Amino acid sequence: MDQRADQREWDRLSGLQPTAPELFDPQMVADLPEPARRYFAHAIRPGTPLLPVVEIEMQGQFSLGTKETPNYQPMQARQILAAPEGFVWAMRTTEGMPISGSDSGGWTRFRIFGLIPVARLGGDPDHSSSAFGRYVAEAVFWSPAALLPGGKRLLGGDLGGYCPRDGQARRARTGRRCNGR
């Protein structure tokens, strides 16, 4: 059941990718403060399609222990990031105790052997706020197009923050709320 929810959300987010994206033009950021202009000039070449949805595959280590004894296990994961709409991060260990699960703007769920739940959280304002912070931070690296002013991006035309689907105002780095205040 969790994997079907993961796939439904993945498909929804994937469907947000524009078929004919705008191309980046430095004039899009000409009115921003100089540090923001430098960031976009470094992150996006002129003429680059502004694709706000990215899919990432990764491998590494997942800690199943404490800070003192992390007990790292090899893992593989994939993620779709569609800031500001959401993300799904799905992982599984590849050796040792078989752990798998996913994290998104709506849930965090992990199971042992694919059956025994060891974490099932989400659906509350704290989780939603934490998820928003995560995809804003990740967009800086993986999807800078989502940070451009205007449209349905993380920073509105007035550099105000974006209101996610739950209607909660979120603060972006600008310190402004969704209504521009």
- pTM assigned to the model: 0.78
Is pLDDT at 176 greater than 70 in this prediction?
no
pLDDT at 124: 85
First to last CA, the chain: 41
Spatial separation of the C-alpha atoms in residues 21 and 9, rounded to whole Å: 22
User: What pLDDT does 132 receive?
Assistant: 81
Summarize pLDDT for 92-114 with one digit per residue, the tens. Answer: 999 988 999 998 888 889 999 98
- Residue 23 is predicted with a pLDDT of 95
Residues 6+ apart with CB under 8 A from 132: 84, 105, 164, 170
What pLDDT score does 173 carry? 43
**Which of the two residues, 9 and 154, has the higher pLDDT score?**
9
Instruction: Write out the chain in H/E/C secondary structure.
Output: CHHHHHHHHHHHHHCCCCCCCCECCHHHHCCCCHHHHHHHHHHCCCCCECCCCEEEEEEEEEECCCCCCCCEEEEEEEEEEECCCEEEEEEEECCCCCEEEEEECCCEEEEECCCEEEEEECCCHHHHHHHHHHHHHHHHHHCHHHHCCCCCCCCCCCCCCCCCCCCCCCCCCCCCCCCCC
Residue 154's pLDDT band (cuts 50, 70, 90): low
Mean pLDDT of the chain: 82
Q: Which pLDDT score, from 0 to 100, does residue 153 have?
A: 52
Residue 155 above 70 pLDDT? no
What is the per-residue pLDDT across 159-170, written as a single tens digit (0 to 9) for each? 344 444 444 444
